Copies of this chain bind each other. A is one copy, B any other.
């Protein structure tokens, strides 16, 4: 279920390896990487492959290389935080639940607004897609099926806003959050408990009632957030 981030290319592997090191903080911002020739040798790849990987990382804002000076890790300020890879690396490296909170916060901001926009701008086709997702949720027989349908529902709502930037943001955040949720199973009983919430959202969008949709969606994600939070608490060892 969790996509294993399959990489067929060599430089892709190098990107993953270096990316993890940098985002994980093992190579601190401001610090210089070893010379290309050296690093290539150490990673057992050609300088060509290494350089292609470096270009990718510098496209993500993680590093910056100049002649003579060498290649250095940029300040986190310049990192492309909303890049899917960067986010994934952070998820993998930050054991603190602090980051999950931030993701959840983003979601809680985006989704209600999106629901409102969807209620205003949806067209029949998109409404149908939302309805279909809802039906699938209602018909889900296990948690697995339900999560898939749930995700489809939210994505359909986002699509109905006609704003692809929003869709993009959501999918990035959601993917990152999802990887957390899947780590451990929620209570299997009552996995459909939020179905009524979703129904309200659907109805409001159907009836073109932006404010109602916003509020309903707000309740839905707040619920899910408290779920995540409870989750986080029980998962992490109490550190204080």
> Which A residues lie at the B interface, using CB under 8 A?
11, 15, 48, 51-53, 55-56, 58-60, 76, 79-85, 102-103, 105-106, 109-110, 113, 117, 163-169, 172-173
Chain B residue numbers with a CB within 8 Å of A173 are: 165
Known interface pairs A52-B51, A52-B52, A109-B109. Does A103 touch B59 (Cβ–Cβ under 8 Å)? no
List the B residue with the shortest CB-CB distance to A82: B82
Q: Is the interface of A mostly helix, strand, loop or mixed?
A: helix
- B82, A169: Cβ atoms closer than 8 Å: yes
Query: Nearest CB to that of A109 among chain B residues?
Result: B113
Docked Cα-Cα span, A15 to B55, in Å, equals 11
Q: Which residues in B have their C-beta under 8 angstroms from that of A59?
A: 15, 55-56, 59-60, 85
Contact assessment for B55 and A165 in the assembled complex, using a CB-CB cutoff below 8 Å? no
CA distance A110 to B173 in the complex (A): 14
Chain B residues, Cβ within 8 Å of A55: 11, 52-53, 55-56, 59
**In the complex the two chains form, what is the Cα distance from A166 to B109 in whole Å?**
10
